[in-house]
Amino acid sequence: MLDVKRLRVLREVALCGSFSAAADALSYTQSAISQQIAALEREAGTTLVERSARGVRLTEAGEALVRHTEAILARLADAEDELEAIAGLRGGRLRLAAFPTAAATVMPRAIARFREKHPAVELSMEPREPDDALAALKAGEVDIGAVILSDTDQPEVEGMTLTHLLDDPMYAMLPIGHPHASKSRLRLEDLAAEKWMLGSTGKCPDTQILLRACLSAGFDAQIAFHSDDYLAIQGLVASGLGVALIPDLALVAVRDDVVVRALTGSTPVRRIFAATLKEGYCSPATEAMLEILTEVCADFGQGRRELALAS
């Protein structure tokens, strides 16, 4: 078996025309170059370099081996590039999963910033509710999943590493003609007698947050309609069919026939995290996206605070 490092030395000798010049180019000693060539000749079973007072000259066998060496080194470089692309930021792919309100707000900003910095990485994003995103992570279908925990949950999910992105406060949404619509802030208990719009399943984090908040305020929420679509919920509220809690991320587009009011006291909060497999391989692309997501969400939160102060 021919040694690739020694083949590289032979090629450098052929390019430079002498052992001393090859030694300088490779940061070797001249003695080391001579030893490498001698070892390669033993492996090849023939003389590769003829030495004379005027320098060195490759034999016919040496010239043939150098020609093959060029191809071998080129293929090795291609292999190294491909491996780097798979594991790094010069190629490969990164698969994201996000629930609708994150997919409409912070995720597009993060994707745009990531593509600007790392255009060779192929990005994709699937719409997934938090439980589905965790299942997709466990199945190896995605690399990062945006998930929601309620404000009282411990930031732990079995088998997952969680990176905190954002605390997403929830607001009361009322029809524009509601008796409390003129108030700048509301207590949740002010809405105890109202009908509520709610997510479609008990597993929905937003549903759990609403029910828990109402219980803490001293009442059981009376559910009028179920929907996981916040645009649909806005329509139901606007039609006077009830009220709702709306997270900040869902307020990118608000109808003009509803009002949104902050809540006094303990504001219900959705805690948003980026989840990755705890025991999985975290590629450089994944690490870069986690960093960008953290930056984007910090900017988003700061903008929200500035808007609140301005109002």
CATH number for position 179: 3.40.190.290
Give the model's pLDDT for residue 35. 92
Question: Do 83 and 105 have their domain in common?
Answer: no
Question: Do 49 and 119 have their domain in common?
Answer: no
Strand partners, 144: 96
Question: Do 61 and 101 have their domain in common?
Answer: no
What tokens were used for 51? 């030495």
Report the domain count for the chain.
2
The residue out of 67, 87, 107 marking a domain boundary is 87
Question: Do 101 and 153 have their domain in common?
Answer: yes
Give residues with Cβ within 8 angstroms of 199, minimum separation 6. 206, 207, 210, 226, 227, 228
Question: Do 45 and 119 have their domain in common?
Answer: no
Question: Do 75 and 206 have their domain in common?
Answer: no
Contact 172, 188 (CB under 8 A): yes
The residue out of 36, 71, 87 marking a domain boundary is 87
The residue out of 34, 61, 87 marking a domain boundary is 87
Question: Do 80 and 219 have their domain in common?
Answer: no
Per-residue pLDDT of the chain (311 residues; tens, 9 = 90+): 788 899 999 999 999 988 989 889 988 998 999 999 999 999 999 999 998 877 789 999 999 999 998 888 888 887 877 777 777 787 788 999 999 999 999 999 999 999 999 998 999 999 999 989 999 998 889 999 999 987 555 667 888 999 999 999 999 999 999 999 999 889 999 999 999 998 766 567 888 888 889 999 999 999 999 888 899 999 999 999 999 999 999 988 899 999 999 998 878 999 999 999 988 778 889 999 999 999 999 988 776 654 444 44
Question: Do 147 and 205 have their domain in common?
Answer: yes
CATH number for position 47: 1.10.10.10
Contact 272, 166 (CB under 8 A): yes
Give the model's pLDDT for residue 154. 62
Give the model's pLDDT for residue 279. 81
How many helical (H) and strand (E) elements, i.e. helices and strands, does the chain have?
10, 12
Give the model's pLDDT for residue 304. 63
Q: Side-chain half-sphere of 76: how many Cα atoms within 13 Å? A: 10
Question: Do 60 and 20 have their domain in common?
Answer: yes
Expressed as residue numbers, the domain containing 180 is 93-310
Question: Do 171 and 245 have their domain in common?
Answer: yes
Distance CA(26)–CA(23), nearest Å, equals 5
Question: Do 168 and 261 have their domain in common?
Answer: yes
Question: Do 123 and 218 have their domain in common?
Answer: yes
